[in-house]
Amino acid sequence: MANKVVCPKVFRDLRRFARCLNTAPAVPPMNFTGNYGSTNVTTTTLQPTDQILANPEKKVINFDDVKELFTGVSTSKLLRSSLTLQMASIESMVDLGVWVMNSKFMHMPIFKEVILGFVKSTFYEHFCAGKDLIEVRKTVSQLSNVGLQGMLDYGVEHATESESCDQSMKVFLQTAEMAKSLPSSSVSFVVVKITAICTPKLLKRMSDLLRWEQKDPSFKLPWKQKTLPLFAELSPFYHTLKRPEPLTVEEERDLQLAHDRLQKICKKCLELDVELLIDAEDTAIQPAIDYFAYSAAIKYHKDDHPLIFGTIQAYLKDSKERMMIAKKAAEKIGVPMGFKLVRGAYMSSENELASSLGFKSPIHDSIQQTHNCYNSCAEFMLDEITNGSGAVVLATHNIESGKLAASKAIDLGIRKDSQKLQFAQLYGMAEGLSFGLRNAGFQVSKYLPFGPVEQVMPYLIRRAEENRGLLSTSAFDRQLMRKELIRRFDVGTS
């Protein structure tokens, strides 16, 4: 049935796809209201924090000069990027990709080889840094040549047993060593997924126990190390509706092994002076991930600068309060805390789980509320940086959020080359914003997933499925790329 539903839709879109390649795409407003699932987009009046953008003298990021914007980017790369982003913006292409990757055809060697070959030459090469650290080195060098840094993300999926956790740890250590061997300004972070060094099953058990401890302070966890506050008043607790059983002896042993793995990674990064960024996951296991991140951050930091950055997902209703509580607690004990701020990547699964249990979604009711929350969290962290310790990575593809944060940073006198503020976007996405922020003098990184195509693509396809709105915003990039390609064609034929 999936084939009958998906494929005809793809074929119907081919004509529209061909038309789009020859026309300038309309750029939707970056601020809009309504439900996440709504297809209607309506503009909004400026929020108080947006007023700075209404003043033309405060213009920080220049998107008008496409020649300057794409300096150093070859014409062939612009063409490939424009075509790939056009394909990725068609929802039915995402539907087909998800269906194919999960179909029985992937168990047929010939079919699998053909599909993976197509994926590698298109989406994989556009969104991924390479199959191994040798190829990653080349990608980082290319980024460095155009003034951008790399965040090195080993694209491993969830570990299933101790051996795979050990193997992931080895790759993280190798990645840190490679990062140190590159020019100091070319790599900003090594990304670590806690799900790669501790099984999701154990993380779920830990999260249930941590949630129950929050509900009942008399409930003691003998394995718990010193950490920062993990919950806020709005945090979801419906995942744990009854008192969980304590960890077994075997589970406690596996937990200690996970701590040991993270400790080895932290020690290596501290020795090499390479910063660590810990990714977020869904709310079912996020408390355990925060626990690992915060307990490690307390032990490992570089004087007044954080070594370890946790991740806050602004689409969650409790995100700002949770971040503020953790930041203030860290400051109280003299620990510099760093955060990566994102919007979030598990909207569909979070909504479905909450609904199935009869609870309200933990996610903001509209995209505009998420925009407002993201901007408010960014403002809080920029104020914190100005007045004390800590650091923030503003990972966003949203033009208005980028403008607001850049303007706010300048107003507060935060040096553009400061290690306390960095911007980030996915590799192959939001190129206009990346280059615009670069040209404005800020430090900008691209998130670089790497690994064999078969290992990385399922992860990227799931992210694409959960971030359809993110892919649609590539219209702005495609418009900028088209303008620059036309300009280069005119220059070449004049």
Residue pLDDT, tens place only, 324-337: 999 999 999 999 99
Which of 192, 197, 218, 219 is closest to 208 using CA atoms?
219
The arithmetic mean of pLDDT across residues 52-80, rounded, is 79
Residue 144 pLDDT > 50, yes or no?
yes
CA distance 128 to 116: 14
Q: What confidence tier does 460 reach under pLDDT thresholds 50, 70, 90?
A: low
For the chain, give the percent of residues with pLDDT over 90.
65
pLDDT the model gives residue 151: 97
- Crossing angle of helices 249-272 and 162-181, in 10° steps, is 10
pLDDT the model gives residue 302: 86
Range among 90-94, 119-123, 457-461, 465-469 rated most confident: 119-123
pLDDT the model gives residue 143: 95
Residue 15 pLDDT > 80, yes or no?
no
Q: What confidence tier does 484 reach under pLDDT thresholds 50, 70, 90?
A: very high
Q: Contact at 8 Å (CB) between 149 and 188?
A: yes
Residue bearing the bigger pLDDT, 353 or 157 = 353
Q: What confidence tier does 26 reach under pLDDT thresholds 50, 70, 90?
A: very low
The whole model's pTM is what? Answer: 0.85
Lowest mean per-residue pLDDT among 131-140, 150-159, 237-246: 150-159
Q: What confidence tier does 18 reach under pLDDT thresholds 50, 70, 90?
A: very low
Residue bearing the bigger pLDDT, 122 or 39 = 122
